[in-house]
Amino acid sequence: MDQFRLALSADFQRPDGSPAYPSFDLRPLDDNPAIDWAYVPLEKGVVPASAMAGYDALILLGGQFTADSFPGDGKLAMVARFGVGYDNVDVAACDANDVALVITPTGVQRPVAVAILTMMLALTGKLLTKDHLTRSGPEGWAKRADHMGVGVVGLTLGSLGIGNIGAEMFRLATPLGMNFLAHDPYADATVAQQLGVELVSVERLFQDADVVAVNCPLSDATEGLVNADLLKLMKPTAYLINTARGPIVDQAALTEALQARRIAGAGLDVFAEEPSSADDPLFQLDNVIVTPHSLCWTDQCFAGIGAADVKAAVDLMTGHVPTGIVNKGITENAAWQAKRQGYRGRFG
């Protein structure tokens, strides 16, 4: 029987072979007789080309897919990321090898926006400090008046980036009675206007916002964008939240600003180095909340991302253009079009 061959990177499995993330429902793959799927190994964190031979598509979790990951048979047509970040995939090499790179913005849009608000409310409410006071017994309770939280009504929530996640963050924050600012050179002005978001320069964003959330992708243009100069513009009462990618923020400069109390605090789900070292000076500070690049990880989040990736695979298999393609020019590529039309003839 002719089958569409789909690979999943091995980090979707536990060492004993069981699924690492059960909320990623694999039954649609098992129930479709036209799909033959299997896990492919990682070698030093990279998908090797030898493992990808014969596959039509790959769903990639955390491994690297480099220029050396493409098999020589030219069969591969799609790499689908499990999420929206794609800094672990060589996009130029995808173009050169007639491969579409797909992400899943709909799967993470709400969960990441919720994670940002979780950080904001935990920081402004001094949640971790109050947790510590409570656990300290009567002596801690006696200090609770010294750690008053900050109400968010009338504060300004700012976003560095107003794509799917930034826009969703503002939608969820609307009932809180905050003012909204954003900086994004690619912003849709109509969307911003509908959300009540004022588009401003990056300098004004950092000057005026009481909470700045990083909601842009990591690229050559954004790496190190949040540097010492921008951090110096922030109010001493302001908070920085980063759930996007660690290298967008100069972590050393942020650590220094937090140590000197030049800003009130930070909520970080991502870091310059992951996994991070336990002795990182950032982790010794009491004005920062840190989570291991997983604050948005919920059963609903992984179910949504998984369903979006499975749909992308089925769409491709049946000759349709998957949604969420990063390298959009690939859809005009004759070789890629030939692959897609071939699938349509076989499985459509």
Which residues are the active-site residues?
245, 274, 293
Length of the chain: 348
Residue 324 has what DSSP assignment? -
Q: Beta strands of the chain (E only): which ranges? A: 4-9, 35-40, 57-60, 78-81, 100-102, 156-160, 179-183, 197-199, 211-214, 239-242, 265-268, 288-290
CA dihedral 154, 159, 165, 169 (to 10 degrees): -10
CB 225 within 8 A of CB 231: no
Please work out, in degrees rounded to the nearest 5, the angle formed at the alpha carbon of residue 316 by the alpha carbons of 9 and 97. 65
SS3 assignment, position 112: helix
SS3 assignment, position 254: helix
Return the closest-CA partner of residue 274 out of 296, 293, 294: 293
- Residue 146: both structure tokens together: 């010294």
CB 170 within 8 A of CB 224: no
